[in-house]
């Protein structure tokens, strides 16, 4: 009995530790929008993406070597790896290009809240196509969440007319959110260790930006000040490598649904950190839209039944 009690206390203690680490990971992801915005002041979108992927690739290779993780895969999943890598490259370009003309906080909120909503819609369509569910088969909480998501989107996009829907900010970040949602569906099909997936997806994205090797502009970043390298290091190492690593460990110890609930904190951290470091004051529409979107994601993804069928 004492042994069971001791094991329960150890398990509870380990859970609390992972709660803290998950909070740190979400803070890193929220802060990545600020770092990305700062980096756009120094170089073009494709140059920043190139250096980011190069640093991440080196870091992932080191981790694979240290933990002796195999990167072998079956031929049947090659197409999913290829498509996921392409989506990763497109997402990074859209993110950096969009941040040239948008606030980091608002961009972070729009992208991180719309991504799971797009993922849900795509998953629902996929299940309908496979005949696993009927098109109109939606639990009440998911239907309500989807309605809230549409309303929140209208606030976040600040839609006043059809023309405002097509402004550069909305186009860049809606496409980025949709692209990441598509990539998440591809990565679900890849049965590999998370670090191995990260290795291939990063490698393929790096290859997409490999022509930067031959551009003189690529090496102009070596003349940049410490602020550039600090933000690049934060984005590549803390946000992409460490943050993602913690997230995958969180899934292992806390379970997928509990771990994914922490993702709701990312847009809040994006707004807060943008306010602290960039003096960006979010509009009331952004705040109200983000609250609605977070609640919508909670209803759809955390309590969603349809998503558990794939």
Number of domains into which the chain is organized: 1
Residue 4 lies in a domain: no
Residue 3's pLDDT is 39
Tens digits of per-residue pLDDT, 232-276?
A: 999 999 998 888 878 877 766 766 556 666 777 888 888 889 989
Residue 9's pLDDT is 39
Residue 149's pLDDT is 76
Closest CA to 89 of 62, 140, 35, 52: 52
Residue 104 lies in a domain: yes
Backbone CA torsion sign across 99, 49, 90, 69: negative
Cβ-based neighbours of 106, under 8 Å, separated by 6 or more: 156, 169, 280, 282, 283, 286
User: What share of residues in the chain are helix, strand, coil (percent, to 5)?
Assistant: 85, 0, 15
Residue 19 lies in a domain: no
Sites in the chain below the pLDDT cut of 70:
1-14, 131-138, 157-169, 251-252, 254-261, 300-310
Residue 265's pLDDT is 82
User: From CA 34, how far away is CA 234, in angstroms rounded?
Assistant: 10
Tens digits of per-residue pLDDT, 65-74?
A: 988 989 998 8
Residue 7 lies in a domain: no
Q: What DSSP letter does each residue of 104-144 carry, written as one string? A: HHHHHHHHHHHHHHHHHHHHHHHHHHTTSS-TT---HHHHH
Residue 125's pLDDT is 79
| Enclosing domain of residue 68 | 28-309
Structure tokens, 299 = 């209803």
Residue 20 lies in a domain: no
Residue 32 lies in a domain: yes
Cβ-based neighbours of 229, under 8 Å, separated by 6 or more: none
Residue 14 lies in a domain: no
User: From CA 250, how far away is CA 240, in angstroms rounded?
Assistant: 15
pTM: 0.83
Look at phi and psi of residue 83 and say left if phi exceeds 0, alpha if psi is from -120 to 50, else beta: alpha
Residue 283's pLDDT is 81
Residue 277 lies in a domain: yes
Number of C-beta neighbours around residue 171 at 10 A: 13
Residue 134's pLDDT is 61
């Amino acid at each position: 009995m004492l042994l069971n009690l001791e094991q329960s206390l150890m398990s509870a203690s380990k859970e609390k530790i992972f709660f803290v680490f998950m909070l740190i990971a979400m803070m890193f992801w929220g802060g990545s929008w600020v770092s990305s915005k700062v980096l756009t002041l120094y170089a073009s979108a494709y140059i920043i993406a190139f250096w980011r992927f190069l640093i991440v690739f080196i870091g992932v290779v080191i981790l694979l070597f240290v933990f002796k993780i195999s990167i072998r895969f079956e031929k049947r999943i090659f197409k999913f790896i290829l498509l996921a890598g392409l989506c990763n490259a497109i997402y990074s370009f859209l993110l950096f290009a969009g941040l040239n003309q948008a606030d980091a906080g608002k961009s972070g909120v729009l992208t991180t809240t719309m991504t799971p909503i797009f993922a849900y819609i795509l998953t629902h369509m996929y299940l309908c196509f496979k005949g696993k569910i009927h098109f109109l088969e939606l639990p009440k909480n998911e239907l309500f969440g989807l309605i809230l998501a549409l309303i929140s989107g209208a606030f976040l996009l600040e839609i006043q007319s059809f023309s405002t829907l097509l402004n550069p900010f909305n186009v860049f970040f809606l496409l980025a959110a949709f692209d990441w949602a598509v990539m998440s569906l591809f990565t679900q099909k890849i049965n590999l260790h998370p670090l191995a997936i990260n290795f291939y997806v990063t490698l393929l994205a790096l290859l997409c930006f490999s022509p930067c090797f031959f551009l003189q502009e690529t090496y102009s970043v070596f003349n940049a000040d410490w602020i550039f390298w600090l933000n690049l290091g934060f984005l590549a190492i803390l946000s992409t490598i460490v943050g993602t690593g913690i997230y995958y460990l969180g899934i292992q110890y806390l379970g997928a649904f509990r771990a994914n609930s922490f993702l709701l904190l990312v847009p809040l951290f994006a707004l807060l950190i943008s306010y602290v470091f960039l003096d960006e004051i979010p509009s009331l529409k952004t705040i109200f839209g983000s609250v609605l979107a977070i609640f919508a994601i909670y209803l759809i993804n955390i309590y969603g039944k349809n998503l558990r069928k794939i």
